[in-house]
Amino acid sequence: MSFVKVENITFRFAKGLPAVIDELSFTMVQGEIVGILGPSGSGKSTLLRLLAGLEIPERGEITIDGRLIVDERTFVEPEQRCVGMVFQDYALFPNMTVAQNIMFGLHKLNRSLRQEKMEQMLELLHMTDYAKRYPHELSGGQQQRVALARALAPQPSILLMDEPFSSLDANLKATIRSELRHILQKTNITCLLVSHDPADIDAICDRVLKVSARH
Ligand code: ADP
Ligand code: MG
């Protein structure tokens, strides 16, 4: 049974413009790591934004974990979707420590559970010694790991990653790739990872979904 179901999704930025996403359908099983590969401008980020609820499709429907999140009559708000996101530019809060960044999405938990969850995440990502540091005191790779910890901490149904390695140098990228695959498998999270580099997808994903430029 499908854990994620995207059916005939069509999206355009304005009436009269060509569709950025045109009748796209695919499914994912739980725990699957799927890569989205396509050239710049092919709508990869837009697809993730549709799943996260940051854009609304013109047509089609999306179901995650048996719950309809969008169709012609339904729109579940982004914060109600249990979707975790990691972007290319980390987007950590610069004035918060690593620990505070990770706990940010855990406001629904009480203080001790929040602390416990944060410590678990630090351990998973081998960042325990960095809890009190600020983002500017970390390397790019470490910042990316914290961004991943922050996205995973609330235990989202699905993790969306948009070009997560594009700010990393080639050496670091190789290390992070294998580490990421390991972490995703360990948490058994369902994940969509966007990249324009086939090597990223090869190293991390179970399967690839190709999107092409259409204009
Ligand atoms: P990708 O992530 O694959 O590079 P995007 O999803 O960012 O592609 O963009 C897909 C297309 O939509 C591109 O042609 C882009 O120029 C266009 N686009 C992106 N954002 C906007 C916007 N806010 N308004 C109008 N067009 C946009
Ligand atoms: Mg993009």
Mutate to test the pocket of ligand 1, among 45, 88, 193 (most ligand atoms within 8 A of CB): 45
Ligand 1 center–CA 57 separation, angstroms = 14
Q: If we measure between CA atoms, which residue out of 162, 146, 55, 65 comes closest to residue 100?
A: 146
Q: Is the CB of 40 under 6 A from ligand 1?
A: yes
Nearest listed ligand to the Cα of residue 162:
2
Between residues 170 and 92, which one has the greater pLDDT? 92
Whose alpha carbon is nearest atom 17 of ligand 1? 41
How far apart CA 192 and CA 84 sit, in angstroms, is: 10
Taking residues 162-180, what's their average pLDDT? 83
pLDDT number for residue 210: 92
Q: Please give the number of the atom of ligand 1 that sits closest to the Cα of 42.
A: 3
pLDDT, tens digit, for every residue of 45-90? 999 999 999 999 999 999 999 999 999 999 999 999 999 999 877 6
Whose alpha carbon is nearest atom 14 of ligand 1? 41
Hunting for tokens 């009436």 — which residue is that? 15
How would residue 22 be classed by pLDDT, with cut points 50, 70 and 90?
A: very high
Between residues 91 and 22, which one has the greater pLDDT? 22
How would residue 214 be classed by pLDDT, with cut points 50, 70 and 90?
A: low
How would residue 213 be classed by pLDDT, with cut points 50, 70 and 90?
A: confident
User: How many Cβ atoms from other residues are within 10 Å of residue 109's Cβ?
Assistant: 16
Taking residues 4-33, what's their average pLDDT? 96
Q: Tell me the two tokens of residue 47.
A: 């697809």
pLDDT, tens digit, for every residue of 101-111? 999 989 888 99
Nearest listed ligand to the Cα of residue 89:
2
Structural domains of the chain, ranges and CATH numbers in brackets: 1-81+192-215 (3.40.50.300)
Q: What is this structure's pTM?
A: 0.92
Ligand 1 center–CA 96 separation, angstroms = 31
* 3-state DSSP assignment of residue 179: helix
Q: What percent of the chain has pLDDT over 70?
A: 99
pLDDT number for residue 90: 63
Mutate to test the pocket of ligand 1, among 42, 55, 87, 211 (most ligand atoms within 8 A of CB): 42
- Return mean pLDDT, the chain: 92
Nearest listed ligand to the Cα of residue 38:
1
Task: Give the strand pairing for 190-195 and 33-37.
Answer: parallel
pLDDT number for residue 138: 93
User: How many Cβ atoms from other residues are within 10 Å of residue 173's Cβ?
Assistant: 20
